[in-house]
Chain A
Amino acid sequence: MRLTAILTIAILSLINTSCKDNTSTALPKLGFKKVVDNEEVDHIVKDWSFLNSDSIRVTNKDLSDVVYVSDFFFRSCPTTCPKVAREMKRVYTEFESNPQVKFVSFTLDPKRDSPQKLKEYAANLQVRTDKWWFLHGDKDETYDLTGEYLQIGFEDEDAPGGFDHSGKLILTDKAGHIRSFSEGTDPDETPKLIRDINTLLKEYESKN
């Protein structure tokens, strides 16, 4: 009886330690899968095209050599956006010198957040706009895109600021797959997003 007990404990602790080895666990591909030509295909963010804060047209294809963190916001947002901007900046600062990581903020209020205003906003946030893009585009296209990034965003006059939207930071890889996210209003979730970005970057390193 005693031998069995010792063996069980030994085996259990072995399983325990090998399960804790998370360094080689790849990030999942998030989102609803589609069936294309009878094959299950992971969700890929659909193509988009917006104006950046210099009023130059950019598309998701311009991000195909980087991984990026994105969010949806508007400048006059009273509650979630300041917190989310703060967390996004934390991640930005962490990867400031790494050209493989970029940041993209889409405005949900193109009427009031013109590219010029977004440029001022970026200057006040003290970030480089070649690394952190602030994008302006058609309202419907933007709202549609929130779904592509698994976020929520729509006009709601009862919501503070007039727009109801989620404050998630979404991590997208070079192929347009969503790989991780964090709740932008919770500073305690930011370290995990940073770890996931590093995991994703390692994935590309090991492929070379």
Chain B
Amino acid sequence: MEDGVGLAKLIPPLAKSDWLKNNQDKVACIFRYGQKGEVVVNGVTYNQEMPGQKYTEVQITNIINYINNSWGNDFGVVTLKESTVALRNCK
């Protein structure tokens, strides 16, 4: 997991992930509540449920900033305020 490439067709990559780049608004909620159903990342379809976890707003902000800026990713930085607002509005 350290290299951000995921695991076969079970877990999609985070490194250079087009999905991550284009869905920044969804990421915080996914960490808290998980995600079900199909997701297409870099042209490959994945369909394995990701469980959510009881992360705090601070932890989620830090994780997002980490994955946004590791492995060659350059997807920006989120603030604690932005994460908190996003988490309040999860569907």
Contacts and interface: CB of A to CB of B under 8 A. Distances in A.
B49 interface: yes
Nearest to B8: A126
Contacts of B10: 82, 85, 121, 124-125
Interface in A90-135: 121, 123-127
Interface of A is mostly: helix
Interface residues of B, number: 14
A78 B48 contact: no
B1 A161 contact: no
B46 to A, nearest CB: 8
Main SS at interface, chain B = loop
A85 B7 contact: yes
B7 A123 contact: no
A: contact size bracket: 10 to 19
A86 interface: yes
Nearest to A123: B9
A126 B49 contact: no
Interface of A: 75-79, 82-83, 85-86, 89, 121, 123-127, 160-161, 187
Given A78-B51, A82-B10, A124-B9, 5 more contacts: A82-B1, A82-B7, A121-B48, A125-B9, A126-B9
10 contacts: A75-B49, A76-B49, A82-B10, A86-B7, A89-B7, A124-B8, A125-B8, A126-B8, A126-B9, A160-B51
